[in-house]
Amino acid sequence: MMRQQPYHHGDLRRALLTAATEAIAESGAAALSLRDLARRVGVSHAAPTHHFGDKTGLLTAIAAEGLDLLATQLAAAGGDILAAGQAYVRFAATHRAHFEVMFQPSLLHFDAPELTAARQRAGRALRDSLDDTRVPAGDRDNARLAAWSIVHGFATLWLSGALPHDADDDPAALAGPVIRLLFEPTPDQHT
């Protein structure tokens, strides 16, 4: 009688996260199923449960990964509020599945340590971008909220197809003038 060799996938956690982001990009987070995810990766239906516990655990891991990716892109902007805003929009456009779940607490284990740490890193990167001299020093909290609201709103409108654009338009470039309106007043606003 031949014994079956144990199935070795390599980095199964990574493969499951990649397949999950692809599935979310195709059909949305609500349609994601662990059983379908296992089928996509070619493992037993118990494998995703072993790594993430449940669908909420999987979505929490995706959100934490997304927040870490966002923090890296915001930090690369080097403290420039315009570059950070464009990086935020670019992240949303290129990491649609992550963006879809990152800001939906009802889908996540919101107090999970990995998610809390990732939120803190992304928040720090966003705050660091407000060191830009164009940001009013006396009201940084409201400036942070305004900046985040603008770029998050722009990204959400872009992803939903609500903003008119051509297929080859760069959403980050289109967001630039909108972000500038907040932090670079036009000459007639100085009078």
Q: Does the predicted TM-score (pTM) go above 0.85?
A: yes
| 154-165 residue pLDDT tens | 999 999 999 888
With contact defined as beta carbons under 8 Å apart, do 179 and 81 qualify?
Answer: yes
Specify the DSSP element, H or E, that contains 55: helix 55-76
User: Which positions ≥6 away from 60 have C-beta within 8 Å?
Assistant: 52, 108, 109, 112, 114, 115
| 107-152 residue pLDDT tens | 999 999 999 999 999 999 988 887 766 777 777 778 878 888 999 9
Which amino acid type is present at position 174?
A: L
The vertex-57 CA angle with 72 and 92, nearest 5°, equals 35
